[in-house]
Each structure stands twice: as C-alpha cells, then as structure tokens.
C-alpha cells in the first residue's frame, strides 16, 4: 500500500491500516524504516492527543482481566481504546506467544478497541522506538486512550513512563510490592496504585493493602506540579467491575489538573525531546556499525590501535574527522 493511502486510512481510524502501520515501524529493514519515518511525519498532528496510560503489574495480579474490564468500560462510554504490550524479555508464556488477544477475548472483539501484542524479543533501545512510534500511530488513528502494558519486573517501566501521561501500578492484595516482585523504582513513578482482586475472600485484605499503600504514599514527597492526594492508592475488582469507574475518575482528574497547570504540555515536550536525542544517539551508533565506509574505517583504524601503533584517542580523532567531514 502507498504511504499516502496508508496515512489517509490510518487517520480515518481504520484498524487494519493501524495494524499495518505498526508492522511497518516494527521492521528493521532500511526501506521500511524510511517509509515509517515518512508515514509518521505525514500523520503526526499535535492536536490529536490520546490519554497515554502506562500500566505495570507482575504476572498473577490480574492485569489482563483489569485491562479487559477497564477497556470495555471506556468503550461503553463511547471511547476508542488501544492496548499495546511491551515485553522485552518475552520468552514467557502468554504475551506474544499465546497472544494478547486470547488473554482479552471480549475486548479484542470490540470494534472500538485495538489490541497489539508485544513484538518479538529485541534489545531495549529498539523496543523503546517501536513502542513510542506505535503509541504515536494509535493517537494519529484517533484513539482516545492508549494503554501501554508492561510486566513490572524488567527495565521497561522507566522507558514506558517516559512516553506516557500517567502511570498505574497494579498489585494483588497482601504482600508488599517487593514480595510481589515489583522492581525497585516502579513505586516512585506510579501515579496510581491499584490493588486488584478486592472481591470474595480477598476483599478485606485488598482494602487493608490499599490502606497500607495510602499510608506509605502520604509519607512520600508529593511530586512537584501534582495535586494534593497524588500518588493515590485504590482497591478495585476487575472481575466484578467494582472501583473501575473511580480509578478512571482519578486518572481523568489527574490528567485534567496536569493539562490545566501546563505540566502535561511540558512533560510531553520533554519526552519528545528526550526521544529525539536518544534517536540521534542510536542513529550514530547504527551508522558506525552498518555504513560500509564507516565500518571500513573503524576496522582499519581498529587494527592500528589493536597492535599498539596508534593510541585509541588519536584513532578516535581520525575517525571523528572522517565521520563529521571536518578534516
């Protein structure tokens, strides 16, 4: 399909076009890459903004059940919801292997929803670019909310926090976050801590876990620019659907506050700039590793350095002069 046609269909909200576009940004082939850059440039519209929600939780907390119930509630209110999964360590069952759509059967059949499984395993730098670009495509396709799901045990949470507007940590009742295997540092980036499974035999324990976290969060310093009471702890039951509306109200309240205070725009601007600088850095490293002339020079100078005839610093100067054509 022509990039122009793909861009038009995508901005009209066509889910198949979105799917194809994401496949394009996931590709590492250089002609695909060029097309992806062109497509993103074509469809980028600063006035089309979704609420980007980072969601993290270790296996067993009921993440799929939560996303499905939460997503259906939003589509029930007339919204369009996209779910992207990030799992750089993806060799686990579930995820990309069993397929995220199987995990969220009802949501995946909802025409107002779009679910994209995690791409196959690759290095974190690549995962970051693909996820960021997939989010941008979902926004361009007119989705109102984009949920970016991570498993809470890797290094991907900080990365996802750098590309979302708010971050939700999902926990199970009982056991502290450390016992649940949540990586240190995730607590610090969470805007909302949601204790799931507040139903049946676990209801009381979920409530007391919530109270424990609420107490702990009061001790933490409020983040500059955030309203009183955030970060906040809530208890929900994804399977019974209770508390999801409150969770959504809180997310909207926080988002509204941040929009009105200017925090939202500042954060998005800083995020965009961060990813731009990161992309330049990665692009330079890729150029060194793949451009034939650069590789030849790196190899040639590398040999002189390896046998001790040329100091590393002098060789680097020669390489930089070649690369930056400043000789």
Contact positions toward its own copies, by CB under 8 A? Answer: 36-38, 40-41, 44, 46, 129, 132-133, 136, 268-270, 272-273, 275-285, 287-288, 291, 298, 301-302, 305-317, 319-320, 323-325
Question: Cβ(148)–Cβ(135) under 8 Å?
Answer: yes
Which lies closer to its own copies via its Cβ, residue 153 or residue 305? 305
Q: How far is the CB of 18 from its own copies (least distance, A)?
A: 16
Number of H helices, E strands in the chain: 15, 7
Number of neighbouring beta carbons within 10 Å of residue 171: 29
- With vertex at residue 187, the alpha carbon angle to CA 266 and CA 225, rounded to the nearest 5 degrees, is 30
CB 144 within 8 A of CB 49: no
* DSSP state for residue 173 in the 8-state scheme: S
Beta bridge pairs of residue 122: none
CB of 206 to its own copies, least distance (A): 37
Nearer to its own copies, 108 or 294 (CB): 294
Beta carbon nearer to its own copies, 1 or 306: 306
215 vs 276 by CB, closer to its own copies: 276
Nearest distance in Å: CB 66, its own copies: 30
Q: Which is nearer to its own copies, 203 or 268 (CB)?
A: 268
- For residue 195, the minimal CB distance to its own copies (Å) is 34
Report in angstroms how near the CB of residue 272 gets to its own copies at its nearest.
5
CB of 78 to its own copies, least distance (A): 25
- Cβ-contact 32, 18 below 8 angstroms: no
Query: Is the Cβ of residue 9 or residue 132 nearer to its own copies in the bound state?
Result: 132
Strand 145-150 and strand 166-171: the pairing is unpaired
Q: Which is nearer to its own copies, 51 or 301 (CB)?
A: 301
Give phi and psi for 112, each to the nearest 5. Answer: -90, 0
Q: Are strands 232-235 and 113-116 parallel, antiparallel or unpaired?
A: unpaired
Segments of the chain assigned E as strands: 51-56, 81-85, 113-116, 145-150, 166-171, 192-195, 232-235
- Minimum CB distance to its own copies smaller for 249 or for 291: 291
Q: Pull the structure tokens for residue 22.
A: 């994401």
Q: How far is the CB of 289 from its own copies (least distance, A)?
A: 10
**58/263 Cα distance (integer angstroms):** 29
Rounded least distance, CB 306 to its own copies, Å: 4
Which two three-digit tokens encode residue 159? 């990365």
Residue 54 — φ and ψ, nearest 5°?
-85, 135
């Amino acid at each position: 399909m022509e990039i122009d046609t793909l861009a038009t269909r995508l901005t009209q909200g066509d889910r198949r076009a979105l799917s194809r576009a994401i496949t394009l940004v996931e590709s590492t082939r250089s002609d695909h890459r060029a097309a992806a850059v062109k497509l993103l440039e074509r469809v980028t519209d600063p006035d089309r903004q979704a609420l980007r929600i980072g969601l993290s939780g270790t296996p067993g907390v009921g993440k799929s059940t939560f996303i499905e119930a939460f997503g259906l509630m939003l589509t029930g209110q007339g919204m369009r919801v996209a779910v992207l999964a990030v799992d750089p360590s993806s060799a686990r069952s579930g995820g990309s292997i069993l397929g995220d759509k199987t995990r969220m059967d009802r949501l995946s059949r909802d025409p107002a929803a779009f679910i994209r499984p995690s791409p196959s395993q690759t290095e974190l730098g690549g995962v970051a670019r693909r996820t960021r670009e997939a989010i941008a495509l979902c926004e361009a396709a007119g989705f109102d909310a984009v949920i970016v799901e991570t498993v809470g045990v890797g290094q991907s949470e900080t990365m996802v926090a750098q590309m979302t507007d708010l971050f939700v940590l999902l926990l199970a009742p009982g056991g502290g976050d450390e016992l649940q295997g949540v990586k240190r540092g995730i607590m610090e980036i969470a805007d909302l801590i949601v204790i799931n499974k507040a139903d049946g035999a676990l209801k009381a324990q979920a409530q007391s876990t919530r109270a424990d976290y609420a107490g702990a969060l009061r001790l933490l310093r409020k983040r500059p620019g955030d309203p009183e009471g955030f970060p906040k702890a809530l208890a929900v039951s994804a399977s019974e659907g209770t508390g999801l509306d409150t969770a959504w109200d809180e997310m909207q309240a926080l988002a509204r506050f941040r929009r009105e205070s200017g925090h939202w725009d500042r954060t998005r601007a800083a995020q965009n700039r961060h990813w731009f600088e990161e992309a330049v850095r990665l692009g330079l490293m890729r150029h060194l590793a793949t451009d034939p002339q650069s590789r030849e020079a790196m190899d040639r100078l590398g040999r002189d350095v390896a046998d001790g005839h040329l100091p590393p610093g002098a060789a680097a100067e020669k390489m930089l002069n070649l690369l930056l054509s400043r000789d």
